[in-house]
Amino acid sequence: MDVSHLTIEEGAKTVNAAELSLLVYVDGWTLSPFANDMLALRPAPLQLGFKGFASTSGGEYINGILGDAIATPPEYAHAFSEPSLLLHGSTYHMVGHDDVYGFDLNALSGSSAHHVQWCSQKRAQEKKALGAGSGPLLVSFNNQYKVDEGVFALWMEGMRRTAKEKTQLGMLKWDKTGAADVKMRRNAYLLGVSPKRSLFFPFAPTQTHLQQKAAGDVFVDTLTYSAHGTAADALFAGVPIVSFPSERMCSRVASSLILAGRQNGGAAAASIISHSHSSYLAYTVSAARKAAEHVNVEKYGGNGCGWGKGVVQTERWVKGAEIVYKMWLDAHAAGRPAVHIVGVDVTGI
């Protein structure tokens, strides 16, 4: 249903005419904030915030927010204007990589030894294509606005401590002008790290972007606003993450993805959730040194590199979400829509 060409009132009437039981709102205060005006007219009886805006909407017209025990823990419920719908044993952040990119797993048929060899060769090829050296490659695929002075200083300290290992830092080239790249390299120099050790990669086509991201040895997460979709990319590509969640929902999404994916092994099982700046730095240095010793490939899961593992299975997520939605609709029918909902274990369902 496309209402982008309609006025706010017309859009609300069109949605209302569809007689929806539940409207899931993805954008929040991001790409289409004007839609909040439409939702304020309450075109649907229940309106749920989901994924696009990792925080409370602050609006009475949003009746709930889909979350989980890590991203939106019950003890922080007072910070949200809407009740929480918590998925059980999963992450709220649906990505669907196993469904969308499942065809890539065909390249990994064969024995575990074959997987290890494939991953080693593939990672080396991707590193070379990106202009990286043979040393450990720390990567952050986060948008550059998430990189603040604090986390950048931690990265540079990690680079200084692993200079012997010839560690490099790789980031995506989000700024087409190159101004951000120049500034980061200058700041790296001021913090005692050679600008040549910072690499900026162009965006790869959709069909190959996961292969490009698999070049990384360790994904170093941003702190104030963690990785969301790019964390899922890293885990699916077999790259473990070092993250440090704070109280904000937007800082806890990578941790949510890591913990939910651990049941499937792979890079999620090798990822680290730290609890201080010092432990974040220590784990980053340790992971870089282990990568330099070439022990990381064998560590990340039963298939050698963890490619295709470490993310929540789409079918399981859908079952969990459907149960939570039904519980919420039942509560609404009983006259209690403003309640917190906790999902159930869908194993075996």
Q: Is the pLDDT of residue 77 over 50?
A: yes
pLDDT digits (tens, 9 = 90+) for 158-190: 999 999 999 999 999 988 888 999 999 999 999
Lowest-confidence region among 60-74, 193-207, 309-323, 326-340: 309-323
What percentage of the chain carries pLDDT values higher than 90? 63
Q: Which pLDDT belongs to residue 307?
A: 63
Based on the fold, state whether residues 58 and 176 are members of the same structural domain.
no
Same domain, 288 and 324: no
**Among 49-63, 111-125, 188-202, 259-273, which is the least confidently predicted range?**
111-125
What DSSP assignment string belongs to 177-218? Answer: TSHHHHHHHHHHHHTT--GGGEEEEPPPPTTTHHHHHTT-SE
Parallel, antiparallel, or unpaired: how do β-strands 218-220 and 198-201 relate? unpaired
Burial zone of 206 (CB within 10 Å; 0-12 exposed, 13-18 middle, 19+ buried): exposed
Q: pLDDT at residue 294 above 80?
A: no
Nearest to 85 by CA among 289, 258, 296, 342: 342
Does residue 243 or residue 129 have the better pLDDT?
243
Q: Are residues 204 and 326 in the same domain?
A: no
Query: In the prediction, which pLDDT does 108 show?
Result: 41
| pLDDT > 70? residue 346 | yes
Beta strands in the chain (DSSP E): 23-25, 47-49, 64-68, 84-87, 137-140, 168-172, 198-201, 218-220, 241-243, 272-273, 341-342
Residue 348 in any domain: the answer is no
Its domain, for residue 208, covers: 97-299
Contact 217, 288 (CB under 8 A): yes
Please compute the mean of the pLDDT values over residues 314-343 and round it to a whole number: 92
Same domain, 106 and 43: no
Identify residue 119 by its one-letter amino acid code.
C
Asked whether residue 173 is assigned to any structural domain, the reply reads yes
Mean pLDDT value across residues 17-38: 89
Residue 347 within a domain: no
* DSSP states of 243-280: E---SSGGGSHHHHHHHHHGGG-HHHHH-EE-SSHHHH
Q: How many domains does the chain have?
A: 2
Average the pLDDT over 201-217 and give the result.
Answer: 87
Cβ(112)–Cβ(302) below 8 Å: yes
Do 221 and 227 touch, CB atoms closer than 8 A?
yes
In a domain, 152, yes or no: yes
pLDDT tens digit sequence for 238-272: 899 999 999 999 999 999 999 998 887 788 988 99
- The rounded Cα 290 to chain-centroid distance in angstroms is 24
pTM strictly above 0.75: yes
Please, which pLDDT band fits residue 3 given cuts at 50, 70 and 90?
A: confident
